[in-house]
Amino acid sequence: MSPLIGRRLRTVRERRQLSQRALAEQAGVTQVYLHELETGKKANPSLQILEALAKALRVSISELIG
């Protein structure tokens, strides 16, 4: 998966005016994991995590992964 996912994730999260903590809680992931995704320290989130993040952000998975 492209390392751009972290940048896209952050962009959409900020556009929705959500903190990392709020998005993490809504998506059922830890804030640390979300931070690592956004900064590129973690890559290749599972489909389940992508679905949860996309649902919390009200976007499609394809918008997150490009």
pLDDT tens digits for range 29-56 = 999 999 999 999 998 899 999 999 999 9
Question: Can you give the pLDDT at residue 62?
Answer: 92
The helix/strand/coil state of 61 is helix
First to last CA, the chain: 10
Residue 1 pLDDT exceeds 60: no
- Domains in the chain, start-ordered, CATH in brackets? 4-58 (1.10.260.40)
Query: Which residues are within 8 A (CB) of 38 and not within 5 positions of it... i.e. 6 or more apart?
Result: 6, 7, 9, 10, 13, 20
Share of the chain above pLDDT 90, in %: 80
Residue 3 pLDDT exceeds 80: no
Question: Can you give the pLDDT at residue 14?
Answer: 97
What gap in Å lies between CA 30 and CA 15, rounded to an integer? 20
